[in-house]
């Protein structure tokens, strides 16, 4: 799971997502995300590891995880290429086998 930056060329809308699924050890994206306005699907134009803001590590031991994602923001399952139309969403399961 990585953090991605998106741009819809049709609507000129930009968005970010902490639900970018890549081939392990690479930045090769498995699933596209859909623009909320025109419903066209896109890969992110930039992908990065989700890191702690305090220690800058991907997997840290900080008592309070400070990341550049809002954990209370709901996951838009209707715009996610991985879990769109599935019973379970990406934010409720960590294993790929449960959402197929």
Q: What is the per-residue pLDDT across 68-78, written as a single tens digit (0 to 9) for each?
A: 566 567 777 88
- Asked whether residue 56 is domain-assigned, the answer is yes
- Asked whether residue 94 is domain-assigned, the answer is no
Q: What is the pTM of this model?
A: 0.70
Is the C-alpha dihedral spanning 38, 79, 22, 50 positive or negative? positive
- Asked whether residue 43 is domain-assigned, the answer is yes
- Tens digit of each residue's pLDDT (9 = 90 or more) over 53-98: 777 776 677 766 555 566 567 777 888 888 877 777 776 655 444 3
Residue 6's Cβ-side half-sphere holds a number of Cα atoms within 13 Å equal to: 25
- Asked whether residue 80 is domain-assigned, the answer is yes
Q: Tell me the pLDDT of the chain averaged across its residues.
A: 78
- Asked whether residue 54 is domain-assigned, the answer is yes
- Asked whether residue 28 is domain-assigned, the answer is yes
Domain range for 28: 1-85
- How many domains, in total, are found in the chain? 1
- Asked whether residue 17 is domain-assigned, the answer is yes
What's the angle, vertex CA 12, arms to CA 11 and CA 17, rounded to 5? 100
Higher per-residue pLDDT: 38 or 100: 38
Is the C-alpha dihedral spanning 88, 77, 66, 42 positive or negative? positive
């Amino acid at each position: 799971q990585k953090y991605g930056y998106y741009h819809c060329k049709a609507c000129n809308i930009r968005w970010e997502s902490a639900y970018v699924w890549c081939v392990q050890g690479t930045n090769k994206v498995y699933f596209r995300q859909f623009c909320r306005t025109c419903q066209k699907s896109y890969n992110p134009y930039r992908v990065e590891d989700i890191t702690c803001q305090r220690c800058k590590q991907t997997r840290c031991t900080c008592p309070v995880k400070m990341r550049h994602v809002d954990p209370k923001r709901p996951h838009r399952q209707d715009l996610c290429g991985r879990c769109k139309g599935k019973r379970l969403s990406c934010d409720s399961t960590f294993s790929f086998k449960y959402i197929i």
